[in-house]
Chains A and B, each alone.
Chain A
C-alpha cells in the first residue's frame, strides 16, 4: 500500500542552525501538507502546497519557514534559523484532492533544537 515517507526520523540541531526535513508524498497525490506537534500538545497545521505553490499557511509558518518541491517526488520543509521552541514532531501529509479529501500522514521527523 502506498505511504508517505519522511527523512530523517530524528534530527538534533543547535539553535540558529538550518534544518531541512524531507518527505516523499504518495505518488498520485496533488496536495501536500506540513503539520507539527509539540510534545504533549495537539497537531497544528503549518502549510499546504498545491501546483508548486503555497495554497494556505498558518500564523506559525513565518519567514523562517519555507517549503519546496525540488523534483517530482520530494517535498521539503526548511527552517532557516532554528529556535528552541521549534523542537517538535513534524508530520508531512498528502491527499489526492483538496477540501474533502483524506490526508495520509508520514511517520514524522522528531526535531530537537539544543
Chain B
C-alpha cells in the first residue's frame, strides 16, 4: 500500500519565523520526492524536488530527506504571509511513475 502522510495542520507561524513541514512515506526504496504549494482553488506549483539523503536548499526553502527513516521535510525560513497555503508532499514510489500525494499541511503565516 502506497501511503504518504502529513499533519493536516493548520500550522501557524509568525512572520519571519521558520516553518517546518513534515512528511512520511511507506516505501523504503522510493527515490523521488517533491514539495508542491497549493493556494486555495489553484493547482499545485513546484517548490522543489529531492532525490538524495541530506539537505537541499533553494532560496528560503530547504528540503531534508532521510530515506532510512522514510521521512522528508520542508523548512521555510523568514516566512511571509504570502507563504500561507497548503503544502503537498509527493512521492514517486519505486514501482511507479505517478505521484502519490499526501493530504497536505495548511500553513498560516501571521503578520
Question: A-side interface residues toward B, CB under 8 Å?
Answer: 31, 33, 35, 41-45, 48, 55-56, 58, 91, 98-100, 102-108
Within 8 A of A (CB), among B39-97: 42-46, 49, 51, 88, 92, 96-97
B34 touches A100 (CB 8 A): no
Of the candidates B51, B97, B98, B103, which one forms a contact with A42 in the assembled complex, judged by CB atoms under 8 Å apart? B103
A-B contact pairs, 19 of them (CB 8 A): A33-B98, A42-B88, A43-B101, A45-B98, A48-B98, A55-B97, A91-B44, A98-B97, A99-B31, A99-B32, A99-B92, A100-B31, A100-B32, A102-B49, A103-B34, A103-B99, A104-B46, A107-B42, A107-B43
Q: Which residues of A have CB within 8 Å of B103?
A: 41-42
Most chain B CB inside 10 Å of its own CB: which residue of A31, A99, A100: A99
In the assembly, what is the distance between CA of A56 and CA of B96, in Å? 8
Cross-chain contact A99 with B45 (CB below 8 angstroms): no
B58 to chain A, nearest CB (A): 13
- Check: B100 CB closer than 8 A to any chain A CB: yes
Of B88, B98, B101, the most chain A CB neighbours within 10 A belong to B98
Residue of A nearest to B104 (CB): A42
Which of B43, B49, B92, B101 is packed against the most chain A CB atoms within 10 Å?
B43
What are the 3 A-B residue pairs with the smallest beta carbon separation, nearest first? A45-B98, A105-B43, A43-B101
Q: A33-B98, A56-B96, A100-B32 are in contact. Are A43 and B45 (CB under 8 A)?
A: no
Residues of A within 8 A of B104 (CB): 42
Given contacts A35-B99, A42-B88, A42-B103, 7 further A-B pairs with CB under 8 A are A33-B98, A45-B98, A58-B98, A99-B32, A99-B96, A102-B34, A105-B43
